[in-house]
Amino acid sequence: EDILKIASQKLVETFKLGECSIVFKLGDKKSLKAHAFRIFDSESNENCDVDVTIIEEETLDKNSVDKDIYFIKASDGNIIGFISTSAINGIINKTEFRAFIDYISLILKNYNLQLINRLRYEKLQIIIKKLQDEIESKKRSDKLNSLILEHSPYGMIITDIKGEVLLFNKKAEEFLSMKLTGANLIRTDEIPEDRLIEAIKSSYVKNQSKDIGIKRNGKILYIHLESSILKDLSKVIFTIYDITDRKVKEALLTEKKKMETLAELAAGIAHNLRSPLAAAKGTLDLIKNDLDKKEIKILRKINGKEKEDRDLPENLDLIASSIEKSFVIINSILALSKKGNRNKIKGEMFYLKDAIDEALTLLKNRFKEKDITLLEELNCKKIRGSKDMFVQIFLNLFSNSIDAVEKGGLIKVNCNEDKQKVIIDVTDNGKGIPREDLTRIFEPFYSTSGEAAGRGIGLSITKKMVVAHGGTIKAIPKKEGGTTFRIIIQKK
């Protein structure tokens, strides 16, 4: 009731709707309905009122044209409810509105799954309660264990209050990765260290209902553990089930929202950089034009004498070239941030060294300040993709390496290829990245420390550009110190 009430009220207030109804099925014939609507008092102040009731099965008026209907479906495709809205002047921000609807739907889907699991759990508890009366009979216990427990999608364990296992199924052994015959779940000398085992041990003190991340066969699983202490029977019942799919979907939704926010932020930054760069380019063009017409000249004082600076034109050309490259990079970021273009890279054949050299031109002074040596070993021919994006990729990776290495440091770029793929490595001998941060450094807005501020954005954009080329990127720590960023681009 609280979820439906708050969600419907927020929809009306946030998006200025006339009314909103959220219907959530409680069973085959009954539903819970929240109806929120805007009201106006005598002083023309707007308020929102919400009514929550249990109703018979709600039917939709298919002829209604003034309402928008959003169906909520469970993972099996069955409809578990719907959201009906009516806007007075139309939805102003449809993207935020759709995201809010999807967020509400996800909450209700998870709540529906909890209700289903709870119902199944209670049914299993009834079955187990019946088992208690016959647990002394070996034949009956074995038969019921085979018929009920072995066919359950959940791991089931029953122990006495001292931890001795009385009953279990194969699914429980799979979750715990151990044999439970004759086992005791409290004796630490018999049980290997494991987060699930530790949670089970703590269940002998109080009932548990918690989600746990565990590692099985090299993969991370998310497990839900339910435990009930039956003091009158001196028994403890454990129910364990896999919720990995649900956790993955939640993580994907969160990642999607972060990437959309990142794209908007990158586009905003790139757009705002255009104006100051254009002003700098305009001023530079005026200076170059005056120099060409001999209307001005730049003097340099050498040994007390003023002489015309003949190196200036070349330096001004370098500045102009850098500004032009900056415009190209900005246009690449803006193109990537557009939804329709995120997976459409205009392919061209180019030499990887050309992209590396352009990035080095922009970072020449930073390399010089730290006296950094760059070694290149490029055993690859031309590759297909966006050269401008690869300039940005190398800019970001080189900048991270420059921050990481000490003065006199070393950065290496290697490229190798076979018939299927191109492998590009950017390696430095810097301080390296903590192992616990390796899986998160490409997340938008994630940084490992104050010194790494902004790295989360740079590496996130880098990953988006690599993925847009159908490739992958990962960070590999080196034993002797430093980090290798490896990019793999498939040729087909």
Q: pLDDT, tens digit, for every residue of 400-416?
A: 899 889 999 999 999 99
Q: What is the DSSP letter of 437?
A: G
What is the spatial distance between Cα 455 and Cα 440, in angstroms, rounded to a whole number? 11
Write the DSSP assignment of 144-176 as a string of letters: HHHHTGGG-SSEEEEEETT-BEEEE-HHHHHHH
Confidence of residue 139 (pLDDT cuts 50, 70, 90): low
Q: Which pLDDT score is estimated for 453?
A: 43
Calculate Rg over the CA atoms of the chain: 32
What is the average per-residue pLDDT within 12-27?
Answer: 84
Q: What pLDDT shows up at residue 40?
A: 66
Q: Is the pLDDT of residue 220 over 70?
A: yes
256 domain-assigned: no
The answer to whether residue 61 is domain-embedded is yes
Do both 101 and 17 map to the same domain? yes
The residue ranking higher by pLDDT, 381 or 420, is: 420
Range of the domain at 419: 345-492
More confident residue, 148 or 106: 106
- pLDDT of 448 strictly over 60: no
What's the confidence (pLDDT) of residue 352?
92
Whether residue 486 sits in one domain with residue 356: yes
pTM: 0.45
Backbone angles phi, psi at 338, to 5 degrees: -75, 130
Hey, what are 304's tokens?
A: 């007390």
Is 253 or 341 the better-scoring residue by pLDDT? 253
Instruction: Measure Cα distances from 251 to 97, 223, 258, 431, 468 in Å.
Output: 20, 15, 11, 30, 21
Arithmetic mean of pLDDT, 262-279 = 70
Q: Is the pLDDT of residue 454 over 50?
A: no
Tell me, yes or no, whether 107 and 193 share the same domain: no
In a domain, 102, yes or no: yes
Q: Nearest CA to 108 among 65, 156, 140, 71?
A: 71
Average pLDDT, integer, range 310-331: 74
User: The domain spanning residue 358 has which CATH number?
Assistant: 3.30.565.10
Residue 475 DSSP symbol: E
**pLDDT of 427 over the 90 cut:** yes
Grade residue 143 by pLDDT with cuts at 50, 70 and 90.
low
Structure tokens at 12: 């009306």
- According to the per-residue pLDDT averaged within each range, which of 198-212, 276-290, 470-484 is highest? 470-484
Average pLDDT of the segment spanning 215-236: 83
Note the pLDDT of residue 410: 94
- Is 170 inside a domain boundary? yes
Residue 466 pLDDT > 80: yes
Mean pLDDT of 370-384: 91
Specify whether 218 is located in the same domain as 80. Answer: no
**Distances from the Cα of 158 to the Cα of 43, 113, 128, 129, 208, angstroms:** 65, 24, 9, 11, 14
428: which strand partners? Answer: 411, 483
Helix (H, G, I), strand (E, B), or coil: what is residue 218? coil
Residue 256: pLDDT over 80: no
pLDDT above 70 for 276: yes
Residue range 370-375: average pLDDT?
Answer: 93
Identify which of 383, 397, 415, 390 has the alpha carbon closest to the alpha carbon of residue 490: 383
Q: DSSP class of residue 324? A: H
E-strand ranges in 380-480 read 383-385, 410-417, 421-428, 471-477
The verdict on residue 127 lying in a domain is: no
Q: How far apart are CA 478 and CA 394, in angstroms?
A: 20
Same domain, 211 and 314: no
What is the domain count for the chain?
4
Clarify whether residues 215 and 326 are in a common domain: no
Q: Which two tokens stand for residue 192?
A: 């290997």
pLDDT at 38: 79
Q: Is residue 481 part of a domain?
A: yes
158 phi/psi in degrees, rounded to 5: -125, 125
As a whole number of angstroms, the distance between CA 122 and CA 115 comes to: 10
Higher-pLDDT residue of 449 and 145 is 145
Which residues contact residue 420 at a Cβ distance below 8 angstroms, ignoring those fewer than 6 apart? 490, 491, 492
pLDDT of residue 455: 45
Q: Please tell me which residue, 330 or 379, carries the higher pLDDT value.
A: 379
Per the listing, tokens 């900048």 go with 399
Same domain, 395 and 429: yes
pLDDT score for 376 = 93
Give the pLDDT score at 137: 61
Which residue would you say has higher pLDDT here, 307 or 482?
Answer: 482
Evaluate whether 165 touches 182 at the Cβ level (below 8 Å).
Answer: yes
Q: How far apart are CA 194 and CA 171, in angstroms?
A: 17
Q: Which of 111-120, 203-212, 306-315, 424-433 has the lowest mean pLDDT?
A: 306-315
**pLDDT interval class at 451 (50, 70, 90):** very low
Question: Which pLDDT belongs to residue 342?
Answer: 47
pLDDT in tens, 24-41: 887 767 888 888 887 766
Which DSSP state fits 452? G
Q: Average of pLDDT values for 364-369?
A: 87
**Between 280 and 402, whose confidence is greater?**
402
Q: How many angstroms separate the CA atoms of 114 and 107, rounded?
A: 11
Domain of 229: which CATH number?
3.30.450.20
Question: Are residues 285 and 387 part of one domain?
Answer: no
- pLDDT tens-place string over residues 62-105: 444 456 788 888 877 888 888 888 876 666 677 888 888 888 88
The mean pLDDT value for 385-398 works out to 89
218 and 324 both lie in a single domain: no
Strand-strand pairing, 68-73 and 209-216: unpaired
Distances (CA, A) of 481 to 373, 430, 455: 17, 6, 19
d(CA 86, CA 101): 14
pLDDT at residue number 309? 74
The residue from 325, 342, 359 where one domain ends is 342
pLDDT of residue 18: 83
Domain boundary among 342, 364, 399: 342
Q: What is the mean pLDDT of the chain?
A: 79
Do residues 57 and 6 share a domain?
Answer: yes
Residue 247 lies in a domain: no
More confident residue, 407 or 446: 407
Q: pLDDT value at position 447?
A: 61
Q: Which of 112, 141, 175 is the last residue of a domain?
A: 112
3-state secondary structure 38-90: EEECCCCCEEEEEEEEEEECCCCCCCCCCCEEEEEECCCCCEEEEEEEEECCC
Same domain, 317 and 235: no
The answer to whether position 121 is within a domain reads no
- Same domain for 461 and 450: yes
Task: Specify the residue for token string 């031309």.
Answer: 382
Residue type, 176: L
pLDDT tens sequence across 333-355: 666 566 544 455 667 889 999 99
Q: Average of pLDDT values for 292-317?
A: 78
